[in-house]
Amino acid sequence: MNYHQYYPVDVVNGPGTRCTLFVSGCIHQCRGCYNKSTWRTDSGILFTQQMEDKIIDDLQDTRIRRQGLSLSGGDPLHPANLSVIHHLVQRVKTVCPDKDIWLWTGYLLAELTPEQRQVVNLINVLIDGKFVQELYDPQLLWRGSSNQVIHKLR
Ligand code: SF4
């Protein structure tokens, strides 16, 4: 898996202070996409074991308390990302059980594959659906267009 950006301290993408990772790879091609440069799976930088370790360290940092981890992109549920994302969320749930995980995807919750569901079964909040320019509303919190749904899973 490749990624484009990692913010160790982020107060924009989800509630509270968070660590946020924007991964590469998205098949949805939404008109008006805010992040076209992430579409190709080979764009960005390789996500390494060191990067995973850094995210865990940041989540455990007691100087700046993080509420959780936000995963966006690109699409964290792109088939090419699933094994790395699954490993990451499993590790976060094991070693940082008090942190919440939010994940943004262009897929619909009802249409996820069994492999995508394995990831979603470990996260707290899923924001699903493509970005639809006609339904864009800047007043919306945590989503770009009104068709997208915030699923509070656990
Ligand atoms: S799902 Fe997100 S990253 Fe993918 S094309 Fe749509 S807006 Fe862009």
Answer whether 108 contacts ligand 1 (Cβ < 6 A): no
**What type of residue is 4?**
H
At 67, is the pLDDT very low, low, confident or very high (cuts 50, 70, 90)? very high
- The pLDDT value recorded for residue 51 is 98
- This prediction has a pTM of 0.97
Q: Which atom of ligand 1 is nearest to the CA of 144?
A: 7
Does the CA dihedral 58-62-64-66 come out positive or negative? positive
Confidence of residue 60 (pLDDT cuts 50, 70, 90): very high
Q: Max Cα separation, the chain?
A: 43
Going by pLDDT thresholds of 50, 70 and 90, the confidence category of residue 88 is very high
Reported as a single tens digit per residue, the pLDDT across 74-87 is 999 999 999 999 99
Residue 29 CA: nearest ligand 1 atom is: 5
The alpha carbon of 127 and the centre of ligand 1 are apart by a number of angstroms equal to 12
pLDDT at 96: 97
CA distance linking residue 84 with residue 60, whole number of Å: 20
E strand or H helix at 149, and its extent? strand 149-152
Q: Is 127 in the pocket of ligand 1 (CB under 6 A)?
A: no
Question: pLDDT value at position 24?
Answer: 98
The SS3 call for residue 95 is helix
Give the span between the Cα atoms of 86 and 76, in whole angstroms.
10
Task: Answer yes or no: is the C-beta of 25 below 6 A from any ligand 1 atom.
Answer: no
**Quick one: pLDDT at residue 145?**
98
Q: Find, among 6, 117, 25, the residue nearest to 66 by Cα.
A: 6
2-152: CATH topology is: TIM Barrel (3.20.20)
* Ligand 1 mean position, distance from CA 37 (Å): 10
Q: State the average pLDDT over residues 121-125.
A: 98
